[in-house]
Structure 1
């Protein structure tokens, strides 16, 4: 019922916005990716800094049923509507540029195990009707997206993703990051970041209960004191960046441990940065089935993969490539003990990372953002 009412609301607002005169230099960014590697947010910052000839409006959170009429008129006035999730535009004369928010590793849409045929068909129609241009990084990306969403090949443009530009030039120095998050100065520090996928969709109350109790790694042998001790011995510092849903499970997102800290959106908003604007200063990534690892290949740092719920996740939603432990370019671990051992090992996966980087990112440009601007200018007439 809520879904039907929201679609009705969107239809009414689109009708209102349709009567606003369109402006060729007007760009609206519908950002549904928050501050966690948002192509939309980062591209908007680039436009405001480097291309003042464009008038940019950032709409977030998106989608929302609480936008004022003024915002809907802004949407209606835009020549270009840029989206990070489902493609959207008010009328046919607008150009929707679809950024999306990650190279798909998990099955979604038509390919997913946990969606309905009716929903899949509705989403495929939205892509066919509203997506004019789909920004791409590679043939691999296009194959994966089309498998999931039924996107026609002529919609793709290999511009690269704006978020990858931010990895190359962090907005916050490593020294400042250490001081802000850990209150230390350590010239020899190694900063790691843990970013799991959306684990709630496994529909396992036991997993959520572990997270709520502080076991953010959801490992059977989890011991945060031992983890902190081992990190401290190796001058390693771990940033924990959970999915927004999981962050809400914690009453207090503050760690009492010297070498472990939680990163929430408050810090990112205070600094006016996206996560990717500090990610380049990290030295290793720990993840499970999050597609962030494709992006992390850009900075060529070690990656560790937690696979303790791999079988359950494959059954519930599914993965697009496999066998997973053979595909991923890093050590796979199932226990905290294995994780600690992995943190001690030398990097032996650089060649495999380079292989997957070349497959997933064929756009080797100085500025992916500028590639998108050039594309916009080429279709303005």
Structure 2
């Protein structure tokens, strides 16, 4: 019922928006990706800095049924509407720039096991109708996206993604990051970040219960004190960045350990940072099925894959390619004990070779300024 009402709300706003005239050199960015590698937010920062001749408005969170009319007028007046999720525009003459929010590793749309046929048909029509330019990084990206949302090949342009421009340099130093998150200094520090995917869709109350109790690995052998000691012994620090929904399940402020820190959106919003702007200060990534690892390949640093819920995830939603152990460019672990064993030897030549292989396969626009390429492609459509 809620989804039906929301669609009616959008239709009403579109109708009202048709009475607002479009203005050249106005851009609106509908950002649904928060601050965790948001193409929308980082492209917004780029436009503000590099193209002050354009008036750019950031609308977030998106989608939302609580936007003021002033925001809707901005959306209706924009020549360019940039989206990170489903394509959207009000006027047919507007240009929708679709940035999406991650390289498709997980099944979605018509390829997913947990979607409805009617919804998939509706979404495919929206992509066909509204998307004018879809940012791409490779042939593989285009193949995977089109398999999920049935989008036409001619809509893609290989510009790369804005978030990748912000990976290799950070607005804060490594020393400052350690101080902000761990409250200490350590010249020998090696910093890792753990970013799992959204595990709520596994539809397993036991997993959510474990996470709510602080077991962020959701592993049977989780012992946070032992994990902290293992990290401390090696001068290693682990930043834990969970999905906002999972962070709400427990109070991270009540979990205080010297070598573990929880990164929440409050810190990122307060300091006007996106997560990707901090990754240059990290030495390794740990994830499960999150597509962040494709982007992390830009840094050519070790990646560890936690697959303790692989079977459940594959059954509930599924992955677009596999077998999982053969396609991920790093060691696969299934428990805290497995993870700790990897800490003494984070990188091996075989994993370096795999990273380079997957980087070349997933990014055919290397060593370029992705924001510049996107801006050129976007504005070229209206010349």
Classify the secondary structure of the residue corresponding to 2:201. helix
Which one is further off, 293-302 or 364-373?
364-373
Distance apart, 1:380 and its partner CA: 2.3
Following the alignment from structure 1 to structure 2, what is the Cα–Cα distance between the partners of residues 319 and 164? 23
Classify the secondary structure of the residue corresponding to 1:330. coil
Aligned residue for 1:350?
Answer: 352
Aligned residue for 1:329?
Answer: 329
4+ long deviations beyond 2 Å: 251-255
Does residue 188 of the first structure (1) align with residue 177 of the second (2)?
A: no
Following the alignment from structure 1 to structure 2, what is the Cα–Cα distance between the partners of residues 272 and 53? 22
Classify the secondary structure of the residue corresponding to 2:278. helix
Aligned residue for 2:371?
Answer: 369
Distance apart, 1:106 and its partner CA: 0.4
Q: How does 1:1-381 map to 2 (within 5 A)?
A: 1-348=1-348, 349-381=351-383
Classify the secondary structure of the residue corresponding to 1:168. coil
Distance apart, 1:215 and its partner CA: 0.3
Following the alignment from structure 1 to structure 2, what is the Cα–Cα distance between the partners of residues 121 and 379? 27
Classify the secondary structure of the residue corresponding to 2:217. coil
Which one is further off, 344-353 or 57-66?
344-353
Classify the secondary structure of the residue corresponding to 1:313. helix
Following the alignment from structure 1 to structure 2, what is the Cα–Cα distance between the partners of residues 308 and 17? 48
Following the alignment from structure 2 to structure 1, what is the Cα–Cα distance between the partners of residues 48 and 365? 24
Maintained 8 Å contact 1:35/1:275: yes
Distance apart, 1:346 and its partner CA: 4.3
Classify the secondary structure of the residue corresponding to 2:45. helix
With over 3 angstroms needed to count, the CA separation of the structure-2 counterparts of 1:346 and 1:365, relative to structure 1, is closer
Following the alignment from structure 2 to structure 1, what is the Cα–Cα distance between the partners of residues 328 and 247? 26
Maintained 8 Å contact 1:253/1:264: no
Distance apart, 1:77 and its partner CA: 0.5
Following the alignment from structure 2 to structure 1, what is the Cα–Cα distance between the partners of residues 212 and 245? 11
Distance apart, 1:289 and its partner CA: 0.5
Maintained 8 Å contact 1:254/1:261: no
Distance apart, 1:254 and its partner CA: 4.9
Classify the secondary structure of the residue corresponding to 1:364. coil
Following the alignment from structure 1 to structure 2, what is the Cα–Cα distance between the partners of residues 20 and 110? 35
Tell me the TM-score normalized by structure 2.
Answer: 0.98
Following the alignment from structure 1 to structure 2, what is the Cα–Cα distance between the partners of residues 180 and 105? 32
RMSD: 0.9
Maintained 8 Å contact 2:168/2:279: no
Distance apart, 1:256 and its partner CA: 1.1
Following the alignment from structure 2 to structure 1, what is the Cα–Cα distance between the partners of residues 253 and 30? 28
Following the alignment from structure 1 to structure 2, what is the Cα–Cα distance between the partners of residues 366 and 253? 40
